[in-house]
Amino acid sequence: MAEHNKKMISRVLIIGLLALIGTNLATYYLTAGQVGQSAQDEPTVIKYEPARRDADAELMVVQEALHTITEYYFSPVEKEELVEGALRGMIDSIGDPQVRFFNPEELEEFMTDTEGSYSGIGVRIVESNGRIVVFEVFPDSPAQRSGINPGDFLLEADGNELTDQGVSRAVELLRGPSSVPVEVLIKRPGADEPIKLNVDRAEIKVATVFSEMLDDGLGYIRISSFDSNTAGEFSSQFREMEKRGLGVGLILDLRNNPGGLVDQAVEIAKLLVPEGEIVRLVGKDGEVHNTYYSSAAKKPYPIVVLINEDSASSSELLAGALQDRGAALLVGKTTYGKASVQQLANLTGGSGILLTIARYFTPSGHDIHEHGIEPDFEVEMPEILLYYNYFFPGSLEEGDYGFEVETLQLMLDQIGFPVEASGYFDLSTGIALTNFQIASGLPGTGKFDDLTWVELREALDLAARDNDEQLSYALELIRKPGLWTITGGLD
């Protein structure tokens, strides 16, 4: 099948996930307060100054419309719903996808996401065909201790049905006061009957930084997003790596990082970017409102940053600073291109607007908005290895057709069971799937089911690491003679 169709499939998968998990989706929130303040200042919000009465004439038509609808419309309507609809209409008319309106419940959820902690059971969930699926179980969480696994289907929470109720409803029921248990009913792939578990809720700190030593002196750090705990997590793990002899090099993985809090990216940049400028914020008047600087010494080892098409916002800020200042080489694909900065405005009644108030520019003055950051070394990677975790199709069998079938075919091909990615579940697809099932110790039914997905996901976990061409290229660069000259900007 055509390459653009493959890209469409993977893009649908990643966008679908980001729209569902409700974590770090709209955290492009400037915690430095009003533009021009230091990143260490207390967070503030935009304040509304009431207009003079003679300037309110343009609002009369809104008031008249509200009165006319509530008084004369045939069916009863709630005034609060009309007002919220009007506010959302204003936001939509701006045409900026980063500007968002939050009703009180949505605002509370948004603030919880940016804080990086909440009281719950410690899972990340998605919705697939109406079913609530456990996408990730956080380490050392109540969910992990209770035996909940990725791929489990959540059927009920405290007796409340979760299927076809949406992710927001599931989140509402799973979260609650610490130490207060929630009874969940799960359906495990391969199990005949549902399983009932009592899970104690606890304060959950969402990890966004993951690190390991790949070799003596060679470190790897992945940042999944930027919330209020990210800089602290990074600093702690990075300092520990340096104590263990981080002398060969560092690989910083920002792939699939949608961004987050600007101040967190700035604080991490202060550890890695040599003394000088990190980023500048420019307002609508074109004037530079603030510039952030680093005072760090240049690292005595090379740094390579991994980026791709879904590296956005604060991750682009960090990557751009490292590239412009000659502190790192970038490997992968051109980034998303989101360089606008949003700030929260609280409204009367507990609602709020996330409003674009500035745009950031890299130290060289590069405007990456809608353009992205180009890597120093462009390296392709099979997109199925980046997005396979977002695949929850349910059952598939011979005769089915669509992008879910094509995605399954791409997965099978990637792990050594070749089949044409036609999008049609034909006889050859059934044979390839049967061979995979038998090799995995499953009954060779030739039908894709939940248990087959568990085994396929495990196989792809291994393939994603073993066949990570971008990571392999980064490792080659670090060990390549002459890298120091390249990173110093002399090549």
pLDDT in tens, 174-187: 999 998 999 999 99
Asked which of 149-153, 288-292, 374-378, 478-482 is least confident by mean pLDDT, the reply is: 478-482
Q: With 70 as the cut, is the pLDDT of residue 25 above it? A: no
- Average confidence score pLDDT of the chain: 85
Percentage of the chain lying above the pLDDT 90 cut: 63
Q: Name the residue with tokens 């069971």.
A: 417
Q: What is the pLDDT of residue 46?
A: 53
| pLDDT > 70 fraction of the chain, expressed in percent and rounded | 87
Q: Would you state the pLDDT for residue 13? A: 39
In this predicted structure, what is the pLDDT of residue 390? 80
pLDDT at 111: 84
What confidence category does residue 487 fall into, taking pLDDT thresholds of 50, 70 and 90?
Answer: low
Model pLDDT, residue 292? 96
| Per-residue pLDDT at 117 | 77
Residue 269 burial class via C-beta count within 10 angstroms: exposed 0-12, middle 13-18, buried 19 and up? buried
List residues bridging with 184 in a β-sheet.
157, 197
C-alpha span between 184 and 147 (Å, rounded): 12
- Cα–Cα nearest to 320, from 263, 372, 276, 271: 372
**Assigned token pair, 260:** 């987050």
pLDDT (tens digit per residue) in 419-457? 999 999 999 999 999 999 999 999 999 999 988 988 998
In this prediction, residue 325 carries a pLDDT of 96
Least confident window among 28-37, 89-98, 287-296: 28-37
Which among 344, 364, 274, 327 is positioned nearest to 484, based on CA atoms? 327
Whether the pLDDT of residue 484 is over 80: the answer is no
Tokens 């996930």: give the residue: 17
**In contact, 253 and 282? CB cutoff 8 Å:** no
Please write the tens of the pLDDT for every residue from 287-345: 888 999 999 999 999 999 999 999 999 999 999 999 999 999 999 999 999 999 898 99
**Does the pLDDT at position 9 exceed 60?**
no
Q: Under a CB-based contact definition with an 8 Å cutoff, are residues 307 and 333 in contact?
A: yes
Mean pLDDT of 209-237: 95
pLDDT grade for 37, boundaries at 50, 70 and 90:
very low
pLDDT for 245-292, tens place per residue?
A: 999 999 999 999 999 999 999 999 999 999 999 999 998 888 888 999
Q: Which two tokens stand for residue 106?
A: 């949505």
pLDDT (tens digit, 9 = 90+) per residue, 268-277? 999 999 999 9
Residues 6+ apart with CB under 8 A from 225: 23, 24, 27, 208, 257, 258, 259, 260
Q: Which residues contact 268 (CB under 8 A, 6 or more apart)?
A: 223, 230, 231, 234, 235, 318
**424: which DSSP letter?**
B
88: alpha, beta or left, given left = phi > 0 and alpha = psi -120 to 50? alpha
Report, as residue numbers or ranges, the catalytic residues.
Answer: 313, 324, 338
pLDDT of 482 reads 72
Residue 398 scores a pLDDT above 80: yes
pLDDT given for residue 205 in this prediction: 86
For residue 14, is pLDDT > 50? no
DSSP string, 91-149: HHHHT-TT-EEE-HHHHHHHHHHHHTEEEE--EEEEEETTEEEEEEE-TTSHHHHHT--
CA-closest candidate to residue 328, choices 273, 291, 380, 279: 273
* Residue of higher predicted confidence among 387 and 412: 412
Look-up of token digits 């080659």? 476
**Which pLDDT score is estimated for 416?**
95
> To which residue do tokens 């690190």 refer?
211
Distance CA 253, CA 256 (A): 9
DSSP string over 290-358: EEEEE-BPPPSS-EEEEE-TT--THHHHHHHHHHHTTS-EEEES------EEEEEEE-TTS-EEEEEEE
Structure tokens at 83: 């007002």
pLDDT at position 6, please?
43
Contact 167/126 with Cβ under 8 angstroms?
yes
Helix or strand holding residue 153 (H, E)? strand 153-157
The domains found in the chain, sorted by start residue, are 119-205 (2.30.42.10), 218-380 (3.90.226.10), 384-466 (1.10.101.10)
Whether 39 has a pLDDT exceeding 60, the answer reads no
The whole-number pLDDT of residue 52 equals 52
Alpha carbon of 187 to those of 13, 71, 148, 268, 459: distances in Å?
A: 23, 50, 10, 41, 22
**CB 338, CB 369: distance < 8 Å:** yes
CA–chain centroid gap for 28, Å, is 11
Q: pLDDT value at position 450?
A: 84
What's residue 12's pLDDT?
Answer: 40
